[in-house]
Each structure stands twice: as structure tokens, then as C-alpha cells.
Amino acid sequence: MSDTFTEVRPLILLRYFLTVYLTFHDLATLKYSVYDKANNAYIPRKDKISRMSNNTIEDVYDITIIGAGPTGLFAAFYASGMRSMKTKIIEALNNVGGQLTVLYPDKYIYDVPGFPKILAKDLVRQLEYQAFSYNVTRVLGERVEELSYLDDRIIRLKTDKNIHYTRTVLICGGRGFFKPRKLDNPSVNRLEGKGVYYQVRDKWQFQGKHVMIVGGGDSAVDWALELKDIASQVVLIHRRTEFRAHEGSVLELFHSPVKIMVPYEVREAYGHDKLESVLIFNNKTGEEAKFKVDALILQLGYEIDSSIFRRWGLEMINNHIKVNGRMETNLPGVYAAGDIAYPVDSIKLNLIVIGFAQAAIAVNMAKNYIDPRSSIFPGHSSEKRMI
């Protein structure tokens, strides 16, 4: 009897292990599949396809930064260079730099440590070099639309073009998604890109030209002062008699050769293949004036949309993302830094240098979130073997 049992025992054990394997296999099949009667087979569940096939471990990043402004660029360097994290940065625009690139690339910045003064575009160039000297994946021209969670605390980011997977997210979206406020005037907008500009990337394109600028804020006044020695003529019109720009800039404006027309608005823009002239009118008296114009620069402010963050389930304070001192939001693994962040236990200051500090805090916390054994303190860069 013992000999018989000895012979049978391996078969019993084999049957046992096969039963256990098939049981767990069936559970996994039910979890990730549904039975298709027509084809007599299991097919992947639609909500699990990305976890099964398209999303291998190589596709998952340690941290994904949303926004490639100065804060986002520094965060990318810090994550990849200082904490050796697999890093991706996603930017809705087709270039990096955020507001520095879009709003005032040729303005000097005076409050960045180590630089008595530096042009905004040059600061962007230095930050870009610093970030992408390391292994950072750059994704431009994609707007993140959805944030959701998968198994194993993996975060799924859906953009208008792609799907991205990450363990943590750092939102450095400035003041949110923004676009220039357009003038409601068909004659103007039909010539956009043909002499009509809502954004200025290169001031030297206006050298020797007749330029008209519309607006009364910092951007309008700053561009008028920036172009006064480059353009042949600069005319600044504003619909009000008071300017909202910095007092010192307004004082400089009124002592400059810029021709100031208040309270005037644009009535009509003329030109076929390109802008040729602009008719303006006094909104108090109705008096009109026509100017030969090669370039019409409209600085009417920006429409800022931060509502998308609310739709993701983030807690907001006055259109800013609520964070604590660790730069943590109310969503696990999601952090915010820079102008978009509202620290409830600190003072909110929209300064580039503050964004840098918040980015460092957020990245160090994200590293510890992924690996609780890792130290929050990264060590000093002078002690590391960096490029």
C-alpha cells in the first residue's frame, strides 16, 4: 500500500498545483477579460487594455511634470539630475519657457539669484540646457485633459494627442492654460499673421517699421518702450485715459518719443495680403484718425483657464491649486509648484525664485512617495558626480 501511495503521490501533487494554477489563471482572466459567446473566447476588457498590453513597465515614468515654464524646467532638472528619477515634461505650447517666452522674451529679469539682470529668453535657454542635459523626455504641443488612477497607484494622463503613465505628477502650469484675448473685430483678425500680432517673439522683426500697439497694461507699455528705439514710429492707443502698468514704466512712456492716443480704439484695419493702415476713433468724441501701419500689436491680456484642474478633483483656492508645505495636493501622488500653487500654510508670492524652491520640495517629496526608504533630503549637488 505504501508503494502504491508513493507512486500515486506525484500525480496527486501535480493535479493539486494544476488546480491552483488554473484557479488563479481564471481569476486573472475574469479580471482582465470578458467572455465573447460569438467567438467562444475571452477578450480584453476595454478598461484594462492599457494595463495589459500598451502599458509595459518601461512606459511608466517616476514623475511627469505638466508645464515647461521656469518652474517646470527646473523641476525636470531636479528630478532627473538630482534624484535620478525617470522624468517626463509635457507642455501645451510648441516651445518651452511659458510666460517668459510668450509674454516678455526680451524683457530683463532682475530677481533671479546669480544674475544681476538677464533677458527672459536667455533665462529660458539656460534652464532648458540645465534640464535637458539629463535624460528628460520632452513632449511639446500636447494639452493634458484628464487625470485618473489605475492599479498599483499608477496615474494615467490623457492629452489631446496621447496617453501617458506616471507614478507621480507635478503641476507647474503657471496661472493655468492661457491664450491671448482677441479683439472682436473681423477686419483685424483676418490679418492675423499678416501684420497683426497678439504675441511677440522677436522684437527685431519690427526694425524700421511703423508700429501701433493696443493696450494699457504692463505688456503694452513695455513693448512700446522696447520698440521705441527699433521701430521707425510707435503709436500706443488705449481705450481709457489711465494706464494699469507699473508707475515707473508709465512715467518713462510719457517722456519717450512714443505717440500716445487716449481714449482711442481700433475701428478698422486695412490691407489685402498684409496690413497697410489702421483707422482708430476716440470713444468719447467719435473723432477718427488713420495711420500707416506695418504692424499692429494687440496686448489685451490673456484668458486664463484653470477649471480643468477642478475637473480632475483638485481642491482649488481662487483658481489656484491648494497645497500644503510639502507641495502635496489632495490627490495622492499629485503635487503643484509655482504660480498655480496656493500654499495654505505659507505666504503666496508669484515669483520665479519661489517656484524654484517649491519645485525642489515637490520633487523630493515625490521621490519619497515612490520609495519611502529614500531620504527626502537629496544631498548637496557639489557632492554628486554630475555633468
pLDDT in tens, 369-380: 999 999 999 988
* 50 is a domain residue: no
pLDDT by residue (tens digit) across 272-331? 999 999 999 999 999 999 999 999 999 998 777 788 899 999 999 988 999 999 999 999
Domain C-terminal end among 259, 283, 300: 300
- Distance, in Å, from the CA atom of 358 to the CA atom of 278, rounded to the nearest integer, reads 46
For residues 195 and 270, state if they share a domain. Answer: yes
For residues 173 and 317, state if they share a domain. Answer: yes
- Distance, in Å, from the CA atom of 129 to the CA atom of 97, rounded to the nearest integer, reads 12
3-state secondary structure 214-281: ECCCHHHHHHHHHHCCCCCEEEEECCCCCCCCCHHHHHHHHCCCCEEECCEEEEEEECCCCCCEEEEE
For residues 148 and 219, state if they share a domain. Answer: no
- Asked if residue 291 lies in contact with residue 278, where contact means CB atoms within 8 angstroms, the answer is yes
For residues 277 and 362, state if they share a domain. Answer: no
For residues 186 and 294, state if they share a domain. Answer: yes
> What integer is the mean pLDDT of 58-68?
93
Domain hosting 16: range is: 2-45
The strand pair at 210-214 and 233-237 is best described as parallel
**Coil, helix or strand at residue 118:** strand
pLDDT by residue (tens digit) across 138-155? 999 999 999 999 977 899
* 156 is a domain residue: yes
Q: Does the pLDDT value for residue 27 go beyond 60?
A: no
110 Cβ neighbours under 8 A, 6+ residues apart: 116, 117
* 152 is a domain residue: yes
Q: Does the pLDDT value for residue 44 go beyond 70?
A: no
For residues 110 and 125, state if they share a domain. Answer: yes
For residues 276 and 171, state if they share a domain. Answer: no
Give the confidence band of 105 by pLDDT, cuts at 50, 70, 90. Answer: confident
For residues 205 and 284, state if they share a domain. Answer: yes
For residues 83 and 163, state if they share a domain. Answer: yes
* 67 is a domain residue: yes
pLDDT by residue (tens digit) across 197-219? 998 878 999 999 999 999 999 88
**Residue 198 belongs to a domain with what CATH number?**
3.50.50.60
Q: Does the pLDDT value for residue 125 go beyond 50?
A: yes
End-to-end alpha-carbon separation of the chain, Å?
74
- Residue count of the chain, please give it: 387
Q: Does the pLDDT value for residue 25 go beyond 60?
A: no
For residues 216 and 264, state if they share a domain. Answer: yes
For residues 321 and 173, state if they share a domain. Answer: yes
- Distance, in Å, from the CA atom of 165 to the CA atom of 154, rounded to the nearest integer, reads 7
Worst-scoring range by mean pLDDT, 44-58, 105-119, 157-171, 363-377?
44-58
